[in-house]
Structure 1
Amino acid sequence: MFKWLKNYMPRGLYGRAALILIVPIVTIQLVVSVVFIQRHFNRITVQMTSAVVVEMAYLLQQVNDAPNPVAARAAISPLGVPLALQIALPSDPVKSDRAITDFTARVVERVLREGLVNLSAVDFETVQAKVVLGFDTRHGHMRISFDRARVSATNPHQLLVLMAATGFLMTVIAYLFLRNQLRPIRRLARAAEAFGKGQVVPYRLSGATEVRAAGKAFLDMRARIERQIEQRTMMLSGVSHDLRTPLTRMKLSLSMLEEKDRTELERDVEDMSQLVDSFLSFARSDAESDQTETEDPNAVARRVIAKFNRTESRVKTGELEAEGTMRMRPASIERALDNLVGNALRYGDQVRLSVLTGRGDLRFVVEDDGPGIPAKMRGEALKPFARLDAARNQNKGSGVGLGLAIASDIARSHGGHIRLGESEDFGGLKIELVLPR
């Protein structure tokens, strides 16, 4: 039932933590201000008004006991100055008036009417900072006015200002403390994100015990992965040497045979050599030695297109929408695009390479007019050594099913992914290499 509330909640840890801090502070201040202060000053208002009621009752008694208006005025005139009252007898009738937002006036009027029987009207608005009372006496209408401060407690501005200032100060202190606690978490998140993109940034343990434990686990994991990659690279170097040496000897031996006897064998040796190169290229994809650089994605796309069009112009240049530069490993991206464009040329006659920008990402899009890949088989196509005979015409090429897998590994090392679809313009396969910006 509270799912709608999630749309208005902060997404980041800073915002949520600040909300956790600010909401209780504001709630406490509101509760104290409205419940305690309002009730407290209402009681004070009742007490002060009750004192005025006693004075008004005495004046009314003096007026009503007098035999005539002259005697009534003579009885109450000496009381006006000592009691700080302005008295008019007789006077014009008084009309009741009170502001809607004046909550204290309601309490004052209620107490006055409960204690004074002859009270006809209470006016809080006609004379500024004054309360005007109208009475019906035996000698006519009587008008009495006095300062509003006598019946209403002064608004606790000092207390409210002190509460607001203290709340603001404590919020700032809590924010600074919170920032110091969240900074190690953000540093850990940046280090993990960078490592997911193939970058190793310095990171040292700091923060609370739980954050240090998470950071130590991350460092241990990163060390294990780096050690595994190093061991794998060393093993592949040995495998490369061990496999290429016999292949070289086989090529030398074949060169001594008659041409009619060596044609088929040379083709087999060449296929074996390509297979070894493809396998080593795939296994080495997560151990690239090229460094992260600031590069123009449009320039990378143009280099790949120019490379394939040196012999024949079959790769078209699509839209190049990238603005400015971004951090990437240019050699790895070019290698991934080489595989994607090479696969497209193997299965189609027309190929187009574009660079498109989206909300927070950048896409290298390769489209062809080949047979494409059915939607249900696209997940399988990204796996190593996948050869989808029913989907792609294998007679058009001798691939070993590693092109998409290598490109997918390179995309993941940059924090991105590979997305397969259908080209709207060519009708064949559309491959998007998506990188976050």
Structure 2
Amino acid sequence: MMMPQELIRAKRDGRVLTDAEIAAFVSGITDGRVTEGQAAAFAMAVFFRGLSLAERVALTRAMTWSGTVLTWDLPGPVLDKHSTGGVGDTVSLALAPMVAACGGYVPMISGRGLGHTGGTLDKLASIPGYDARPGLDRFRSVTRSIGCAIIGQTSDLAPADRRLYAIRDVTGTVESLDLITASILSKKLAAGLGGLVMDVKCGSGAFMAGIDEARALADSIVSVANGAGLKTVALITDMDAPLASSAGNALEVTYAVDYLTGRACEPAFHAVTVALCAEMLVLGGLAADIAEASRRVEEARTSGRAAEIFGRMVAALGGPIDLVERATDHCQSAPVIRQVKAGKVGIVERVETRDLGLAVIALGGGRTRPQDEIDPAVGLSALARPGDTADILGIVHARSEAQADAAEIALRAAYRIGPDAPIRRPHALQRIT
């Protein structure tokens, strides 16, 4: 077998790796024979040299089979959604119960935050008592009885990806199209899905800022997934501004509850969430077309069924039984809360969304090292969007006055105020099948 350092050298020099070489390296990542430094060096070599389609498939397959691969016997379709990540991307918390309320089953395996983006797993971890890493038996039971279960990667499912994912987060290799494809699909294939909808973000807050990059990633995921037998479609959605007006773990949980209960319904967040849910319903045969699926999704939310399912899921996984009714009581709040005014008259012309995500990390809401603990209470809320009249740019939630000062400076720097409203982009930019 080729030594890890020799395989790294081969990829560094641009050689195409064989299926057997990739499988052996992934096996080493899983059992620890490949060190953290070697895994990081491999990720950087892939970042610069790239993988062929055959290598990408081999890496995805090897990471999928590095652990348990689930099978399901359920009365409805097994469906999921995955996002490439952004700022204020709280969709998963709302989407899973909305699809479950329409007859789908959503065993969603979520990830930690990567780079400047928030992770669904970190948001769930801010709910007191919520077991984000249950055993597979409990995962299966909750999915079967309630319709959805959102958890993190367990040691059983795609363990090679779990280790490489954490290393990529802190080594500047998050944006690799090849590694993103293999990471996403290894988890989804291991979950035993019947259909997948990809949400590929594009804009200033996305890993793939340009439309061509986003399209390349969407094409990669759709082609590899369908080639592996997983029905997949992708939407490229706008991330030129925070999707939700809140960014931060506990803040986003509260936001999702407010959305599901009808206390809040921001147009951009609502449009993207409904569009992704509708694609899932059509993919699973639960609706004849997008128009019918959209109506069903809307009714699942307005009737209160989706909120009820979310509350039952949280309770079944160890969280409070009344989170939906008392989210603000259960979710931590920061001791320093500061409103940030624009300081000038005008209209929000542009937002450097990535900088807002970095501001949340600086507050303690994200990681700079894999072992870092996250402060669930900190973040930003009431964030202004392009086209809004410049008044309140946002509200800072911080652990200390010094942190609030730094976040206020970052918030002001991220906004461009001018006399003219920007041209609004569609929330969903392209659809790839």
Asked whether the two chains share a fold, i.e. TM above 0.5, the reply is no
Structure (1/2) with the larger helix percentage: 1
State the structure with bigger RCO (CA 8 A, min sep 6), 1 or 2. 2
Normalization by structure 2: what TM-score? 0.21
Q: Which has the larger radius of gyration?
A: 1
- TM-score, length basis structure 1: 0.21
